[in-house]
Structure 1
Amino acid sequence: MPYVLGVDAGTTRTTAAACRLDGGGDAEVALVVPSVLQLTEAGTFTVGEPGPAGWTATGFARRIGDDVPLSLGPETCSAEELTALLVMWVIGEVATRKGEQPRHVAVTHPAGWGPYRRGQLHTALRAVGVHDVTLVPEPLAAAENHAARSRVLPGAKLAVFSLGSHAFSASVVKRTQHRTFELLNHVEGVDHHTGADFDDLLLALVRGRLGADASVSAVECEAAKRALARPAPGQPVVVGGVEIGRDDFVEEIRPSVDHLVATFLRALGPAQPDAVLLAGGACRLTVIGDALSASVDCRVLGEAAPEHSVAKGAALAARLVVLGPESEPEPLDTSVLVHTREASLRFPVGEVERPDDDEFTTPPPRPPVDVPPLELPPRRVRRMAIALKPGGRRSRSDSRDDDEDGR
C-alpha cells in the first residue's frame, strides 16, 4: 500500500514513522534504531551497533554544517554525509519491511538551522540517492502531529517544549489561515541539563550515599530514571544497592527543571499559547509536565511516548506534500491530564528551498580566525554509500515502549 515516511534523526536514536496515503491520516512508528554508524574492517557499514573506538560515529546529526569531519578508521566524512547514510539505511529498512519504497520522505531538523545547513543536508541526501525529500523543522513536525488529533483554529498558537537526551529547545508556532504553521520564536538550550544529565544526577545521588568509589553503570541509572518517571509514585528503585525514591530524584533534578522552565517562559515572551506540546523522551518525567502546568495558563499535552511525536509529525507533513490539505477533520481529543494523543501541524506546503541557490551553498559569515590550513583527503561518500550493507538489521531497530530520550 502506498505510504510516506517521516525520519527524525536524533542524537541518541533515529525514529521513522509511516503514514498511509489511502486511508486515515494517522502515522505509526515503523522503526527505532540507535543513531550509530560503524565502519567495519571489511569496508562496510553497520547501523545501530557500536564498535571499536575510532571506527564508530555517534552524535553526528546535530553537527551538520561543521567543517571538521569525523574519522572512521581510514575514512573521513562530514556529519551531513553520515546523516544522509543513516537516513538512506532507514528508508531501505522500512521499504524492505513494507515491500515498497515510500512515495515521499520528510526529514526533521532543528528549527534554528539556516539555509546553509539545510542545503548541506539536501546535497548529502541527493549524493546517496535520496531525492524526493522535504526538510521539516522539528517544532512544526510536533505541531503537525498534534493537529492530526485535535482541531487547531487559524490564529491559534502552540508552544513546543522539546527535551531529549542531549538537546533542549523551546518554540512557538502559529496556525495560519491556510491551515499551515509558521514559526514565531525559537530558543536552543545551551547550558541546560537534558536527559543524559539527569542520569548523571541520579548517579551522583547514589554515590553520595555509597561513596565516590561506588560501582554503578550508566545503563542501570537510565533504567532507574525510567522507573522513577512513571506518573504514579511507586516503590523505591534500587540502584547500586541503594533505594532511591521518586521524591528524592525529583528533589535532585528540581533546579535543572526550574532552569528549563524559566528558559521556556522567556521563549514564550508575551505569547499566550493555546497549548504546550511535549516532545522528546526526557518529557516522560512527570516533574516536567507538573512544572510547566504550574507556570502556564493552558493545557500541557504529551503523548505516552513523546520521543516519537516529531517523527510522526514529519510523516504527516510528507503526506501533505503528496496529497495537499484535506478538509478539516472532526476533533478527536483524547487528552488526559498531561498525556494525550493529539496531532496538529499543517506543514507549510509550498515551494521547497533549492539547495543549488547561493544562499544554500554559502556558509554564514564567521569572524576571522588565524588557523593553519589542514589538507583533508577527498570525500568518499559515494563509495561509502555502496558499502552501507543491511548488516545493521542485527541491531535493535524495533520500537519499544521503554525507549527514552529519543532526541
Structure 2
Amino acid sequence: MSRGTGSGEVIAASLPVAVYVNDHGSLLCGEAAVQAGVQRPSRISRNFRGGLGDPSPVVIDSAPYSAETLLSALLAECLGVVERVVGERPEQVVLTCPVTWGTFRRELFDDVPVLAGVGSCVVVSDAQMVARRWFAGQGLEGTGFVAVFDLGGGAVEAAVLRSGIGEKLPDVVGIPVGSDRVGGDAFDAALSQRFPLMDAERVRALKHQLSESEQVRLENGSSFSRGDFEDLIRPLIRSGLQVLGEAIRSAGDVQLEAVLLVGGSARIPLLFTAVQDAVNCPVELVTDAAVALGAAEFAAELATGPGAAASRHGSAEAVRNALVATGTDTALAQRPSWRSSALLIGLVAVLAVALVVLLLHNATRGDEKLADRSASRSPSSAAGIPRGPGPVSTFYVVQTGYHGQPEYLYEIAQRFLTSGDRLQEIVAFNKGRLQPDGGALTDPNKIAAGWILILPSDAKGAGVQHAPLPCCFPTQSSSATP
C-alpha cells in the first residue's frame, strides 16, 4: 500500500487471470483458482480470451465451457473484489480489448456491461492506452507515430498509432496484425517438449526465471541456460517479428518514434534484441503497468469530465475519481465517496501499480446464441487459410487462373478497381508482405496462386472479400524458409 496525493489512497491487490472448475461444477476465479489448480491442473484454464467468438468450447477436465462463460465468471469476481475493498460497485465501466479485434468480436464484447449489470461503458484498445501515455510523457501531440508490440500469454499483436490531439485518443494507422501462434503459451509448449515430465506451473516458473537469470538449476541437479531456452523459441520470435513487420508495412511511409514492447512475454531478452535488430528506431520495454496507468488516466478524465486531461499527472481529484482493474494485479484508488468511480476492464494481463485498477476480462453469452451469431457473421476462410483476428479488410486470394490465363496485377486492378493503372496501389499495400507459401511481393509482374492481396477499400467484384485478414504465415507444407 502507498499513499497517493491528497486524500487518494492506492491499494495493491492481486487477481490472476485463471478459472478453476471444482467438484460441484462451480467456477473459482483468481487466486483461489490458482491455488486449487496446483493439485488438479487439468481443472484450471488461463489465457482463454482468444476463444471469444469461437464456437468451439474451452475444454476443462473434459467439460466444455464457452470462453464467454469463463470470462464472465472472472468479471463477476473482479466486481466482487472491488465491492469488498471499496464498499460499493463502480458506476462507470470502461472496457479495453485487443487492438486487432474486429466488428464481430467487438459486438460480442458489448454484452459485457449488460451481463455484469452495469449501465454505460466506453471501449478502447489496450494499444491506444499504451501509446497515449507514452505520447503524453514525450510531449508529442498530433505529430508522432509509435508501434505497439504486445506479446501476451495467448497471442501476439502489433499496430502503428498516431498521436492524438488534446483529449483525442491515438489513431491506428494501417492494419493491426495479430496471431495466436506466438505468445507465452507457445513458449511454455516449447519448454514442455524439452521437459515432458515437468508440470505446467513449473514450466511457467522456469520461463520467468530464464528472463531474469542466465542459467537455472533444475530439481534433478542439472542446469538449463537462457541460451538453451532461446534456441527453443527462436522460430517463434521470428514469427512474432513477422507480425510486427506487417503492421509497420501496412502503415506506409511513416517515421516511428519508437517501438513499445508490452505484455508478459515482452520481458524475454531475446525478443528485445531481435526487435532492435529489425527496426530503425528506439525500442522501449514499457512497464507492465502501462496499459493500466494509461487507462486509469483516461478513466479519470471520463469520471471528472472535460478538462481533466490537464491534471492527469498528479491531480488528487483524478486519483479519487478513477478505478481501473487489471488481469494480474489490481490497485484501488480509495476515497470516502465512490459515486464517480470508474472501472476499467482490460483484456491484457498487466501489472497495475499506481493510480487505479485494470482488470482483464470479457463477457458471457449462451453457447447456442454464440453459435448462431458465429454462423451468421463469421466469414469463411479463404483457400483454407486460418482467419486472422484483425479488423475487417478488403482483400483477394489469387487464383490459379482467370479465363484460362494466369492472374497478374494489372488485370486484377482492372477487374476490381476499373483501371489497370491502379496496380501500384496494390503493390504499395502488399510489397514485402509475407504470403502463405513463404514468398513475398517484390516484383509487380510476379504473383502466385494462394497469395492474399490487400486491395483498396473501393475494390469490387467476384472474389473480393471484406473480412478479417487471413493469417499470412507459411503452412507446414511450405518448403519456403520463413
TM superposition score category, shorter chain reference? 0.5 to 0.7
- Mapping 1:241-280, distance limit 5 Å: 241-269=221-249, 270-280=253-263
* Contact 2:135–2:163 (8 Å) recurs in 1: no
* Contact 1:170–1:186 (8 Å) recurs in 2: yes
* Contact 2:113–2:119 (8 Å) recurs in 1: yes
* Contact 1:216–1:239 (8 Å) recurs in 2: no
Q: Does 1:226 align with 2:216?
A: no
CA distance in 2, matches of 1:196, 1:240: 24
Matched with 1:314 is: 295
- 1:318 and 1:120, CA in 2 relative to 1: closer, same or farther beyond 3 A? same
TM-score for the superposition, normalised by structure 2: 0.55
CA distance in 2, matches of 1:88, 1:22: 31
Q: Does 1:66 align with 2:48?
A: no
Q: How many percent identity over aligned positions? A: 25
Q: Does 1:364 align with 2:383?
A: no
* Contact 2:151–2:264 (8 Å) recurs in 1: yes
Which letter maps to 1:133?
Answer: C
Which letter maps to 2:256?
Answer: P
CA distance in 2, matches of 1:107, 1:254: 34
CA-to-partner distance for each residue in 1:67-122, whole Å, 9 max, x for gaps?
4566889x987433442332232022023113343342222212222333223222
CA distance in 1, matches of 2:227, 2:60: 44
CA RMSD of superposed structures (Å): 3.9
The Cα of 1:28 is off from its aligned counterpart by 7.9
SS of aligned partner of 1:139? helix
Which letter maps to 1:144?
Answer: R
Matched with 1:201 is: 190
Q: Does 1:174 align with 2:162?
A: yes
Aligned mate of 1:189, from 173, 179, 204: 179
Alignment length (residue pairs): 310
Matched with 1:121 is: 109
- 1:81 and 1:225, CA in 2 relative to 1: closer, same or farther beyond 3 A? closer
- Mapping 1:2-401, distance limit 5 Å: 30-38=13-21, 41=24, 44-48=26-30, 49=33, 58-68=46-56, 78-147=66-135, 149-179=137-167, 180-184=169-173, 185-191=175-181, 193-205=182-194, 207=195, 215-230=197-212, 234-238=214-218, 240-269=220-249, 270-304=253-287, 306=288, 308-323=289-304, 324=306, 325-327=308-310, 364=377, 366-367=379-380
The Cα of 1:39 is off from its aligned counterpart by 5.9
Higher relative contact order (CA 8 A, sep 6+): 1
The Cα of 1:238 is off from its aligned counterpart by 2.8
Q: Which structure 2 segments of 5+ residues have no match?
A: 315-351, 355-372, 382-482
CA distance in 1, matches of 2:227, 2:281: 26
Which letter maps to 1:95?
Answer: E
- 1:118 and 1:40, CA in 2 relative to 1: closer, same or farther beyond 3 A? farther
CA distance in 2, matches of 1:201, 1:118: 32
CA distance in 2, matches of 1:132, 1:71: 33
The Cα of 1:62 is off from its aligned counterpart by 2.3
Which letter maps to 2:292?
Answer: A
Q: Which structure 1 segments of 5+ residues have no match?
A: 1-19, 208-213, 332-340, 344-360, 369-407
* Contact 1:27–1:315 (8 Å) recurs in 2: no
CA-to-partner distance for each residue in 1:345-396, whole Å, 9 max, x for gaps?
xxxxxxxxxxxxxxxx89535349xxxxxxxxxxxxxxxxxxxxxxxxxxxx
- 1:55 and 1:35, CA in 2 relative to 1: closer, same or farther beyond 3 A? closer
Which of 1 and 2 has greater Rg?
A: 2
The Cα of 1:318 is off from its aligned counterpart by 1.9
The Cα of 1:167 is off from its aligned counterpart by 0.8
CA distance in 2, matches of 1:23, 1:252: 50
- 1:264 and 1:28, CA in 2 relative to 1: closer, same or farther beyond 3 A? farther
